[in-house]
Amino acid sequence: MRPPRPIAARRSRRAHTALLHAALLIATCILSSDLAAAVIRVGPGEAFTRIADAAKAARDGDIVEILPGEYRGDVTVWHQKRLLIRGMGERPVLIADGKNAEGKAIWVIRNGDIRIENIAFQGARAADGNGAGIRFERGRLEVSNSSFVDNQVGLLTANFEEAELIIRDSLFAQAPRQPQPLPHLLYVGRIARFEISGSRFHQGYHGHLLKSRARHNDIRYNLLFDGPAGEASYEIDLPNGGLAFVIGNIIGQSAHTQNPVVVSYGAEGEAWPDSALYLSHNTLLSDRLTGTWFLRTFTDKLPGNVEVLGINNITAGIGAFTLAASGEFRGNVPLPPGGLLAPDALDFRPRGAKLLRHLTTPAGSARGVSLVPEAEFALPIGTRPLVPSPNGLPGALQNDF
């Protein structure tokens, strides 16, 4: 006869068995959910011809596929907790045509983990002047390979501090010519995290190309170049500070800009307890003939000991990089007007690249994040990867061929 097991051993075995049952139950629920997910198609000849009807029918975990074409006045609110919405083939175009959802936007994302791919948002208008292609309210939103053209605000978020927004390989362009409220191409509110890469901004009007109040900003490998027809104010505005990594971007101001500052940090004062700005390997340019502040920081309005680091950036045009900014700066190269090959043709490579390779300094890292560019912007939108090199160029473009 075996001796009885100790009470502790029996309890441990029961606890282990209970954990296994719980894990199996969770796995079964996830599998059942995935198996139950439906693919809902919208377009001519499909069960749904209007996106708004598909939005009402979709359940959590479904995939909504939108066929090519124009969808006029087809505005909606998405209430799902988890959803993939994607355009199929040639990018479908959502034209507001005088309509909006809840007086806000073409699409309102209420509160969920939502992915949007390959959709065009065009012509959003609202009575308050803030009609957006997308109004993102809560949750997590990821947007890729999409475009926002001729909207009062391309994409606008609410101010819920747990929200996250990720944008990749997208276009923001052609702000309407309204003086008030200012038509920003992208306006990120007080959310937890904002990331953007491989995206292009141009033709602003009085508002900013990119404005973010997020706690954490990761802005990499974008083309924010207003162009000859642009009349934007700031190209990047981070008015409440926060933690910001601005790496490998081409950031350019037109001759008709409404403000002599290209990148502004902290202008409206503290919103977050921790603020730091890291600018590495950016190319900043200005066509303004009366002088430019390529960077202006307002650290006196932010909590004490704000770290500002500018390393291996190129400035091209008439202006100053560090005059209106406090912080540590090294490896930065000022070029005169004409110092880039052909900005009007979107060729932002610096002249004299062989010489410039001798002026860079190791970018290193900050707060565990590498400041060395691992990609660069590639037209029309997107990025191409870079092979790290000890003889890198200053600025955003590492390939000088």
CB 278 within 8 A of CB 246: yes
DSSP β-bridge partners for residue 84: 63, 115
Per-residue pLDDT of 200-244, as tens digits, reads 999 999 999 999 999 999 999 999 999 998 999 999 999 999 999
Predicted confidence pLDDT, tens digits, the chain (401 residues): 444 555 444 444 555 555 566 555 555 444 444 456 899 999 999 999 999 999 999 999 999 999 999 999 999 999 999 999 999 999 999 999 999 999 999 999 999 999 999 999 999 999 999 999 999 999 999 999 999 999 999 999 999 999 999 999 999 999 999 989 999 999 999 999 999 999 999 999 999 999 999 999 999 999 999 999 899 999 999 999 999 999 999 999 999 999 999 999 999 998 899 999 999 999 999 999 999 999 999 999 998 889 999 999 999 999 999 998 989 999 999 999 999 999 999 999 999 998 999 999 999 999 999 999 999 999 999 999 998 776 789 999 997 65
Structure tokens at 80: 């799902």
Write b or e for each residue in 247-269: b if 16 or more Cβ atoms lie within 10 A of its Cβ, otherwise e: bbbbbbbbeebbbbbbbbbbbee
**Tens-place pLDDT, residues 105-137:** 999 999 999 999 999 999 999 999 999 999 999
DSSP annotation of 344: G
**Extents of the domains making up the chain:** 159-385
User: Among 336, 341, 345, 347, which Cα is nearest to 287's?
Assistant: 336
Task: Give the total residue count for the chain.
Answer: 401
Joined together, the tokens standing for residue 156 give 């606008």
In terms of DSSP H, where are the helices of 192-331? none
Residues paired with 260 in a beta bridge:
none
Burial class (CB in 10 A: 0-12, 13-18, 19+), 238: buried
Q: What DSSP state is assigned to residue 3? A: P
Give dist(CA 155, CA 272) in Å, integer.
22
- Model pTM? 0.90
